Structure 1
Amino acid sequence: MRRERVPAYLPLFLSLAVILGILIGFALRSGGERGEMPLFTLSEEGMSKHKVLEVLNYIEQDYVDTVDMEKMEEVAIVRMLEELDPHSVYIPKEDFEDVNESLQGNFEGIGVQFRMEEDTITVVKTLPKGPSEKVGILAGDRIVTVDDSLVAGKGLQNSDVVKLLKGPKGTKVMVGVYRRGFESLLPFSITRDVIPTESVDIAYKPNDSVGYIKVNTFAVNTGREFSRALASLMDPPLSYLILDLRGNTGGYLQSAIAMADEFLVDGKMIVYTEGLNRPKRYAHATRNGLYEKGELVILVDEGSASASEIVAGAIQDNDRGTIVGRRSFGKGLVQEQHPLNDGAAVRITVSRYYTPTGRSIQKPYGEDNEAYYMEYYERFTNGELESIDSVHFADSLKYYTPAGKVVYGGGGIMPDVFVPLERIDHNRFYYEMINKGVIYAWAFHYTDTHRADLERFENSRCFIEDFQVSPAMLSQFYTFCQEKGVKEAVDVDKETEARIRLLMKAYVGRNLFDDEGFYPLYHQMDQEFQRALSLF
């Protein structure tokens, strides 16, 4: 089951993705059997040497009231980790599955994308060959009951719905569905199964010689997934490639190495890591790259972090391609995950990673983790996101590539070609329409009420070529916006109206054909994409 994606096309929203996403770049370690042992375990001799354990022991033995010792242990762990760095974290056992799931390449559920529409679980799309599609669930269906319990009109959040519908493979869930044209609810028994999660949002050719691939994370399967996507664009061979890592907060180090290996010739360094208790480890390219000669552009922004920065740094430092966009997040720490006896885990930073020229791109951090993650707003207020002249690096952070190009460490990957943040506040109506999410709601409403007519489009290409936003549709959209609390559309110039029409079409396309119906349209107004295209 997949939730409907939150669009990543307006950079003003990217800070939210950064805050939620930058906890990764780690290597999972297998653990022993879980038991009912306390989180802290040491011998009596060892306990005498550790004040934390001594204090916990005194509290448990002598405190005046009953104390939840497990909670006390967790508080102690969290506070200790806060003294290290922003990426060393404690994962409670109840959060463990959710935190790790996004990087595993699959989960177990019923296989639908959904959105909450008028307080009702509404199916946006069933995943191909998934459990829901197999039993006949359709896009537009409203899930009213789950296992005989009413779920419509209950104020559920997305996270509540996920918990209701996910479950172990082979288990069954009974849903009651409202479908247009039927008076009573339709019952469906759905057997949960393994649902793959995709790292590659889309791979397509904007024209005959250019390929485009967008990758949203670096999960276990991302290397193989990316290689398949790249291979699908290579007949005939590409001359130019745009790799989009905007908003990609990272993931597995090994997946980043595998991706960079597709672009670099045998023996070129990709990255190396080193820590106090971890000796230097180098990763070099092999002979197996699929795209070692064609021109390459990588798109990054303030939401690109960790593994994304490893790939961008390897390409930049080897003079292999051009980085376009804005300065990336700046996460250059590597974590390992250690299981605890009760099913919880800790992620501990064990090393730093360095690009081939030897630069660390980790940005500074101190005691205030919130300030670390909210540094995006500092970039916004000091003008960095809108002007390259506002970006400053100390000379001590200067490095040189083999071709003599100057690059900098100490705070993310600075692109070779800067593209400023797109402002959307030039027109009040346009600004409110975007920020209140009205265009997404309208696109779903239109798709849901015109499914019979939209069935004439067999695929995304037919839709992109033939669907038109008529004047009547635009007028209806303006009325819809007013009903949703957006002020009347006044002073909308021709350029803004053209953008609105394009977004209307793109979001209807996404509802019908997922990203294949969205990105080829949105890219027509995507400044970074257009700048990348102009380099070829």
Structure 2
Amino acid sequence: MPQLRYFACPTALALALLGASGAWAQQPPAEDPHGLIPVEEAVGPGQKAPLPLDELRTFAEVMDRIKAAYVEPIDDKTLLENAIKGMLGNLDPHSAYLEPQAFSELQESTSGEFGGLGIEVGLEDGFLQVISPIDDTPASRAGVEAGDLIIRIDGQSTKGLSLTEAVEKLRGKPGSRVTLTLTRDSGQPFDLRLERAVVKVRSVRSQMLEPGYGYLRLTQFQMNTGEEVSRALGRLRQENGDKRLTGLVLDLRNNPGGVLQAAVEVADHFLSEGLVVYTKGRIANSELRFSADAADPSEGVPLVVLINGGSASAAEIVAGALQDHKRGVVMGTDSFGKGSVQTVLPLNNDRALKLTTALYYTPSGRSIQAQGIVPDIEVARARLTRDEAAEGVREADLAGHLGNGNGGPDRPSGSAPASEVERPQDVDYQLGQALNLLKGLNFTLNK
């Protein structure tokens, strides 16, 4: 089978349209040297799509009327390009006509380094909606959250803007500033002033939460994410004294997606057999099946998968596969529901079509599109704060107090032992609940 490059995610801003934004696949050349699918292949062998002559006459008449009567002169090229944008833009939120700059940015975005704010966006009721902020970017540091609506960019309304137009306004030179007006949970609008930067996405992070319990966070699915997960699992084992982990939290929250093949590789790290995902579309080469191999780098470690409304596309593929195979417990809130695959069809003028060509399905046949992954255990986000009550005087505060009989250090009020250093699970309620569930599973299994 030819080597295909697939991407899975909703629409990107200053990052990857493709993955974090829409699953996209680089279409290899077929009969057409530019990778376009012949009409006969799309409609079926031996069939030809009849030309809609009446509609074409209407199109030509509208074009003539605009050229003759519009208040300002307008050339044929502009009218035709706008017509193409309209054709693609009215199919679904993820199909688009990519002009040279947008096409180049899309290709570059899979490298994990790009300029911008670090947020994935889609359309919601004509406004821009934040699908997910990317970790350690200007957007995440400023407090942008999944689900926020961007209603103005530098004071200009986003109502009616296409995604391409909106992304162009959000992009800019590193160091330049942009003001976003946001609404959250139907509340009052508020402004955030952000400084654009070169965004370098580190797609995999890992650490030990407690002895035996590991944490693996995936911020995006890039071309090398599968390899990075393999290395991260090895590091966690080493940090656990070169022993199998007792439990692992796989964090896919606010992961907007990315490369489909990377999602398959990540899921395969936790599965030793069976289907991971399959796609179905109208054209023959849009129907693909991906299965796990026998190797199991995770060593069957008990697993909790965290998802939320910012988990989209490739992240949903992984969560859905692990859920269907009962390989782990999915916890959190409903995912985004991006279950379509986009194919990038290069044209002969440095432009391309990003066209939705298939839907993908979990191993049990569930379509994620517009529904998302429903967690096995729903746990809403919550903020944890420490009790700030005033601490009273302790024995160690008293002048002339006796020392500890075993030679231990004094602990006056206001001091904290090294073991009380703040850990991620201490401030992240969902992560804390995932860790507690793993401990409960371990207790039950070892009874």
CA contact (8 A) 1:48 1:54 kept: no
Calculate the TM-score normalised by the size of structure 2. Answer: 0.58
CA contact (8 A) 2:382 2:428 kept: no
CA contact (8 A) 1:105 1:221 kept: no
Asked if 1:98 corresponds to 2:96, the answer is no
* Residue number in structure 1 paired with 2:372: 412
Distance 1:87 1:158, change over 3 A: closer
Partners of 1:334 and 1:205 lie apart in 2 by 35
Distance 1:423 1:230, change over 3 A: closer
* Residue number in structure 1 paired with 2:432: 530
* Residue number in structure 2 paired with 1:466: none
Quick one: which amino acid aligns to residue 256 of structure 2? T
Asked if 1:252 corresponds to 2:291, the answer is no
Q: Deviations over 1:62-119 (max 9, x none)?
A: 77874233332232122212332222122232233334433234569xxxx9979xxx
Partners of 1:239 and 1:291 lie apart in 2 by 11
CA RMSD of aligned residues (A): 4.0
Structure 2: where are the runs of 5+ without partners?
Answer: 1-12, 36-49, 116-135, 140-168, 177-197, 385-413, 415-419, 439-447
Distance 1:88 1:115, change over 3 A: closer
* Residue number in structure 1 paired with 2:306: 299
* Residue number in structure 2 paired with 1:340: 347
Where in structure 2 are the equivalents of 1:69-468 lying within 5 Å? 69-106=76-113, 159-162=171-174, 197-200=201-204, 202-235=205-238, 236=242, 237-266=244-273, 268-278=274-284, 280-363=287-370, 411-422=371-382
Partners of 1:205 and 1:22 lie apart in 2 by 27
* Residue number in structure 2 paired with 1:29: 27
**SS of residue paired to 1:258:** helix
Quick one: which amino acid aligns to residue 288 of structure 2? R
Partners of 1:343 and 1:307 lie apart in 2 by 27
Where in structure 2 are the equivalents of 1:8-23 lying within 5 Å? 23=21
- Structure scoring higher RCO (CA < 8 A, sep ≥ 6) equals 2
Distance 1:79 1:297, change over 3 A: same
Shift of 1:59: 7.0
CA contact (8 A) 2:16 2:109 kept: no
**SS of residue paired to 1:535:** helix
Partners of 1:285 and 1:26 lie apart in 2 by 21
**SS of residue paired to 2:172:** helix
Structure 1: where are the runs of 5+ without partners?
Answer: 1-15, 35-44, 117-156, 165-193, 364-410, 425-470, 472-501, 506-519
CA contact (8 A) 2:67 2:73 kept: no
Partners of 1:30 and 1:63 lie apart in 2 by 43
* Residue number in structure 1 paired with 2:403: none
Partners of 1:95 and 1:227 lie apart in 2 by 32
Distance 1:299 1:107, change over 3 A: same
Partners of 1:96 and 1:18 lie apart in 2 by 12
Partners of 2:327 and 2:34 lie apart in 1 by 46
Quick one: which amino acid aligns to residue 378 of structure 2? F
CA contact (8 A) 1:297 1:322 kept: yes
Q: Deviations over 1:395-450 (max 9, x none)?
A: xxxxxxxxxxxxxxxx11010111123379xxxxxxxxxxxxxxxxxxxxxxxxxx
Higher helix share: 1
Quick one: percent identity of the two aligned structures? Answer: 37
**SS of residue paired to 1:334:** strand
CA contact (8 A) 2:253 2:307 kept: yes
Shift of 1:349: 0.9
**SS of residue paired to 2:110:** coil
**SS of residue paired to 2:309:** coil
Q: Deviations over 1:288-341 (max 9, x none)?
A: 330141101111000001000000000000011000100000111111111233
Aligned residues: 300
